[in-house]
Amino acid sequence: MLIPALAVVSILLFVLLALPFTRALAQQFLQRFFIGRFEAVRATDPLSETPGPNAREPQPVSDLNAAARLLGFMPRFPRLIAPESAKLSVGGPRGARIRKINLADLTRRLRRVGARDVSIPPNWEGIEIEESSGPVLIAEFGDNMFVQLPPNTMVAPAGFPITQFIEVYCRSAGMSADQARSLSSKWAKSPALLMLLPTDFQGEIHDVVLASGPGVLIKNTGSQQQACNWCPDPSELMLMWSAPDRWYGLKGPMTDQEAINLANSVE
């Protein structure tokens, strides 16, 4: 009786997967990191990405309550902006983006930037680093934009030396050994989204401390349009900051103080 036998196996599998010790065993094969801050440096992203399977175009919404139904949480909003004056939409979730390590490609990039002193463990071949991102609130007001989303998470195989990977990743992006070592050490203590700006980016980058958490302010002081995602265009700035349960961003032709005042008014 093949069908009953398969049914019994399916039931047993379901029961086993539901047991606490089985779930714990599965989790032992992964390590999860919550990305709680931003780090901006001039470099070139050396690893390709694939878009998440759940990515979708932003969907217009009438108000914050309608946005909350799509987001799964009630968004906070700058009190200096009237929500009804902003064009609101909800995008994503983008799902999981996979960075798959290719030793030959990574070695070529290391050589191209002159990092010939870096050795890559052979067992890194094919390792997948998964980064997941949730739905995002987008609020457009004038020429400016405010965004809000849950913090990203990063998942790697258990035992994989993520700090060493971050250091190699930074070296392959053209950073010096000291800079890569410093960034990876900071990442080990407090995982960060590495915002790699083009090496020819003309602008200012500096850290800021806001009422809700730490952030980084990036200002484009040149005349070059930037192709990177969310890079500020000429005469624009971008302010990204984080709270324990949220990421926030502001972008537009505003002054540093205007951006900081808006960020500090989020409630």
135 and 210 housed in the same domain: yes
- Give residue 52's pLDDT: 53
Check whether 82 has a pLDDT greater than 80: yes
List the domain range (segments joined by +) for residue 16.
Answer: 1-28
Q: CA dihedral in degrees (44, 160, 111, 40; nearest 10)?
A: 20
236 and 111 housed in the same domain: yes
- Dihedral sign for Cα 109, 112, 115, 116, please: positive
233 and 250 housed in the same domain: yes
Between these two residues, 69 and 24, which has the higher pLDDT value? 69
11 and 42 housed in the same domain: no
Q: Please give the Cα distance from 213 to 208 (Å, whole number).
A: 9
CB of 107 closer than 8 Å to CB of 164: no
Q: Can you spell out the DSSP letters for 26-41?
A: HHTTEEEEE--EEEEE
Cβ partners under 8 Å of residue 244, min gap 6: 36, 213
Between these two residues, 43 and 78, which has the higher pLDDT value? 78
Cβ partners under 8 Å of residue 249, min gap 6: 145, 146, 147, 148, 230, 238, 239, 240, 241
- Give residue 93's pLDDT: 75
Compute CA 158 distance to the chain's CA centroid, rounded to the nearest angstrom. 21
Number of domains forming the structure of the chain: 2
22 and 50 housed in the same domain: no
Q: How does residue 196 score in pLDDT terms, banded at 50, 70 and 90?
A: confident
161 and 184 housed in the same domain: yes
Q: Please give the Cα distance from 93 to 132 (Å, whole number).
A: 9
- pLDDT by residue (tens digit) across 121-143? 999 999 999 988 889 999 999 99
180 and 72 housed in the same domain: yes
116 and 237 housed in the same domain: yes
CA angle (212 as vertex; 206, 215 as ends), nearest 5: 15
User: Quick check: pTM over 0.85?
Assistant: no
Q: How does residue 178 score in pLDDT terms, banded at 50, 70 and 90?
A: very high
Check whether 6 has a pLDDT greater than 70: no
Between these two residues, 93 and 25, which has the higher pLDDT value? 93
Cβ partners under 8 Å of residue 230, min gap 6: 238, 249, 251
What is the arithmetic mean of pLDDT over 237-249?
93
